[in-house]
Amino acid sequence: MADKQPDFIPKRPMHHRRNFTGLTSKEADMERSKWPKETIDLWNRLYKKDAADIETIQKSIVHHVTTTLARAAYNMDNFTAYQAVALSARDRLIAQWNETQGQLSKADPKRVYYLSLEFLLGRSMDNALLNLGLKDVYAKGIGQLGFRMEDVVESESDAALGNGNLGRLAACYMDSLATLEYPAWGYGLRYNYGIFQQRIIEGYQAEFPDYWLNFDNPWELPRLDISIPIYFAGHVHSFQDEYGVTRHKWVPGQSVQAIAYDVPIPGYDTENCNNIRLWRSKPTRVFDLTSFNEGNYEKSVEDATQAEKITSVLYPNDNTMAGKELRLKQQYFWTAASLHDIVRRFKKSQRDWSDFPEQVAIQLNDTHPTLAIVELQRILVDEEQLNWDDAWEIVTRTFAFTNHTVLPEAMEKWSVPMFEYLLPRHLQIVFDINLFFLQKVEKRFPNDRELLKRMSIIEEAQPQQIRMAHLAVVGSHKVNGVAALHSNLIRDTIFKDFVEYYGSDKFVNVTNGITSRRWLNQANHKLSELITETLGSDAWIKDLDLLKGLNKKVDDKVFQKKWMAIKRANKVRLAELIKERCGIEVSPDALFDVQVKRIHEYKRQFMNILAVIHRYRTIKSLTPAQKANVQPRVVIFGGKAAPGYYVAKLVIKLINSVANVVNQDPAVGDLLKVVFIPDYNVSLAEVIVPASDISQHISTAGTEASGTSNMKFVLNGGLILGTMDGANIEILEEIGEDNIFIFGCLAHEVEDLRYAQRYRGVPMDPALQGVLAAIEKGTFEDPKIFQPLISTLTIGKDYYLISADFASYLRANQAVDAAYKDQDEWVKKSIRCTANMGKFSSDRSVKEYADNIWHIKPFKVVDNQQID
């Protein structure tokens, strides 16, 4: 039987148009070899990088003001100045980007592709100028032109294409990959709307769209020539090929286009400039021909709108699974476009398919990109006609998977009927992967049907569900957790059967890290300068272990004074921001206590505000003489709740209601202030983190995989109050137990404690009872509002163990107050914190991935822009 394709399916081209980017390097060399020598010489003469002197920089700024932006000195504001500086810096980035990508194409080393549905980049300008080493000269240049660099930097809006940890981690890793000169690309989606803007209205969170692209984005290069057709739905056509082998062909029913937008990622102090390629969905030019042929114009337009919808919005859920069809479409659209691009690049080298894993490593940031495993298998088997086993060998050697959570509500599962409708051929492949996998398990462990059921990629539910975490484990050669405790937990719980089957070598740990470039050199530049001056070199920015040198200065009075002066200046800056955004006056002499992160029950902001109520009630009960001994404290909250997460949103309401009462109570005065800063994002974090004295990372043990803001705070000389969870444990090991406040139950105790609360009726902590009684009495607005929240502790049996940890939490808070009063000791703790954080550099994390998982090496880009 002939494989007759319906004629409306466009042939899948490797390239839409053969332009410059479509030439293989061999073809390009051929083209140039025909050029006369004068032409080549002329190119080489003009091909030089711009000089970095102040006049060249000012000329380029003014050039962009008057031409690109069509403005003049008399109608320029800070935002125009920002745009002009950005465009000028962007010219330099593009030159580096081009040079890097050109040299990489030629040398063709093994590359890593980091697939992440989120990149929480924040602002780019300050980072780009610092990494290029041009911040000072640009600041001077724009200063002489009449603008303050701080105002210019502040005019940029955040690129907020992420929710929290997972997206920010991807951004830190991209910075480290570029700085360490690894050949790496990120792949993600270019959402029209990033994470929503949060405003607080009558104490409640309200969500507004994030119009981040309204004023154009100078940090991206639209590659309108790179457009890849992506298909959905339809059916599968099975046929026998000329050798009598049964083959399958997907006959799709819908198509859209993926357009590439490139975001250059400059490394620090290097010529290397990596890339994040973000895909945007567009309707196919010949959109839905069936309707079109039927003359159904309206339906065609509707379909085009649907196509654009795919990349319109980032899902605002952190650690919860939405299960929406559009989300599955996003995931396939993104993985298919990225793989198409990766495969095209590989094919340019005309190597054998068996070389693919020697040339390509693909890292899956959580299960979101797991479909890439299925898509590569489909390409190899259906399109490249490899046999199944050879293809599967290539696939599993290529992929590695990072798990980010053990929370059951975060585990991605897709309903089989929905999946079948959108991706019929992929469903067959998933079932085949599962069948062959379970056959092997059965051979090793015969007659254990329960085991097969537990390990299956398909969950037998009504309807059946595809367990993406199982698929990711089966399709990868390495699986990692993101902190030591978390990696052990996944080996013992969700992946226990898989560890027994594959052996423990497949399951490794890579503790998360943060980039010192953004989180110290940029966010706390004064401290960065003091460190450089003290250590006699700025080498620590690329080798964070060198901070250990600060340990020698712990007892140095002069150094201590400078250290504390910088902390105070940072607190003054934050106090001004709080005054401006919240209208609340706080004293920079109080202890600044910060909890900023996504609002989630497992992170226990609820426990924090309950303890604040306890503190408030305690202060109210004191005599004036006793009050004189109270350590004044400002408790600062920030963070977004998923719009559909009712209980988390009530926590925000409770914080604001408590703040309203406490901040206006004359009996309390400056002893306690409560602040909720709206719209927490990366650029706010850059102001908040350097200003904290103590920050809270108080998740129920075993629930926070790693956390990364804990690292940011400690790196900036802020102490932490935390549980034995995630990376807190490793931070404790590095900085020593005298410099951290730890409380609460341990991960291995959680199960028994939950059981006891559920079935043995353990009485609630008495202090907590008092606090709840105060809420129920109406101390903070109508208590009915908060009833569902209180119910999580009573009817809900306090799943996150707030009552069990409450007493030790209050004690730890008292220990913080006492320690802070002893400023001579506090400053030493603060210095020791920063000095011993070397391990938590994302450079260290990325090196571990490169050496143990990706097997890639740095590639040195040379600064010799020449045609040869």
Whether the link from the prior residue into 690 is cis, omega within 30° of 0, is no
681 binds ligand PLP (CB under 6 A): yes
254 binds ligand PLP (CB under 6 A): no
**Binding span for ligand PLP by CB under 6 A among 327-335, 681-689, 775-783, 787-795:** 681-689
Q: Give the integer Cα–Cα distance in Å for 505 and 514.
A: 26
Q: State the amino acid at position 794 in one-letter form.
A: T
373 close to 395: Cβ distance less than 8 angstroms: yes
Of 721, 762, 778, which is closest to residue 744 (Cα–Cα)?
721
470 binds ligand PLP (CB under 6 A): no
Cβ distance to ligand PLP smaller for residue 138 or 680: 680
281 close to 329: Cβ distance less than 8 angstroms: no
148 is catalytic: no
Single residue of 116, 127, 131, 165 touching ligand PLP by CB under 6 A: 165
CB of 30 to ligand PLP, least distance (A): 48
Cβ distance to ligand PLP smaller for residue 165 or 402: 165
Single residue of 402, 480, 700, 709 touching ligand PLP by CB under 6 A: 709
106 is catalytic: no
Of 453, 450, 455, 457, which is closest to residue 429 (Cα–Cα)?
457
360 close to 344: Cβ distance less than 8 angstroms: no
Count of CA atoms in the C-beta half-sphere (13 A) of 819: 21
708 binds ligand PLP (CB under 6 A): yes
CB of 400 to ligand PLP, least distance (A): 23
**Binding span for ligand PLP by CB under 6 A among 96-104, 163-171, 523-531, 829-837:** 163-171
CB of 135 to ligand PLP, least distance (A): 21
168 is catalytic: no
Q: Give the integer Cα–Cα distance in Å for 278 and 259.
A: 8
Cβ distance to ligand PLP smaller for residue 161 or 541: 161
Tokens of 256: 């859209």
Cβ distance to ligand PLP smaller for residue 162 or 475: 162
Tokens of 506: 């497949």
Cβ-proximal residues to 725 (8 Å cutoff; 6+ apart), any chain: 485, 697, 699, 700, 701, 702, 703, 704, 707, 747
CB of 687 to ligand PLP, least distance (A): 11
CB atoms within 10 A of CB 734: 18
| 606 φψ region: left (φ > 0), alpha (ψ -120 to 50), beta (else) | alpha
- Cα dihedral across residues 815, 817, 819, 822: positive or negative: negative
Single residue of 682, 719, 731, 816 touching ligand PLP by CB under 6 A: 682
600 binds ligand PLP (CB under 6 A): no
Cβ distance to ligand PLP smaller for residue 252 or 707: 707
Cβ distance to ligand PLP smaller for residue 479 or 685: 685
Instruction: Exactly one of 90, 425, 597, 828 is catalytic; name it.
Output: 597
707 binds ligand PLP (CB under 6 A): yes
Instruction: Exactly one of 378, 653, 712, 828 is catalytic; name it.
Output: 712
Count of CA atoms in the C-beta half-sphere (13 A) of 213: 13
486 binds ligand PLP (CB under 6 A): no
Q: 3-state DSSP: the chain helix, strand, coil percent, rounded to 5?
A: 55, 15, 30
3-class DSSP state of 258: strand
| 481 φψ region: left (φ > 0), alpha (ψ -120 to 50), beta (else) | beta
319 binds ligand PLP (CB under 6 A): no
Cβ distance to ligand PLP smaller for residue 517 or 614: 517
Binding mask 167-206 for ligand PLP (x = CB under 6 A): -x--------------------------------------
CB of 327 to ligand PLP, least distance (A): 21
708 is catalytic: yes
Instruction: Exactly one of 190, 282, 470, 598 is catalytic; name it.
Output: 598
597 is catalytic: yes
597 binds ligand PLP (CB under 6 A): yes
How many residues line the site for ligand PLP (CB under 6 A)? 13
Residue in this structure with the two tokens 């009996």, named with its chain if needed = 667
Active site residues: 404, 597-598, 603, 708, 712
Contacting positions for ligand PLP (CB under 6 A): 164-165, 168, 597-598, 680-682, 685, 707-709, 712
